[in-house]
Amino acid sequence: MASTTNPHRIDESAPSSVDQSETQSRSEPPSIFIFNVGRTKWKQSNDGPWEGETLLECFANALRSIGSKGYVVQGAMYSPEGANIFIDTEDEVWVESIDIHGQ
């Protein structure tokens, strides 16, 4: 006779694959990472929403700021947990030039 075990059942006794660092990272506020794939000294920037701002608003502001500076967007990913934007520029001061807060 065939087994009646449910293949989709979650084994409560199995060890969790979520470690403490993953749990801690979820409690941190979301942020936007901007990576430059160009040949500059600075390769990464990280910023997040200020009080009263949403991550989506800051993501849109970052893309507008990048476009207004003439930097090339190579790719962008957004999720409620955070966002990544990949740009290509030779501008050495690109980190100071991108504003995610839209001021």
CB 67 within 8 A of CB 54: no
**pLDDT at position 29:** 84
Q: What residues in the chain have per-residue pLDDT under 70?
A: 1-27, 103
- Distance of alpha carbon 82 from alpha carbon 30, whole angstroms: 5
**pLDDT at position 21:** 47
pTM for the full predicted model: 0.72
**pLDDT at position 25:** 47
**pLDDT at position 102:** 82
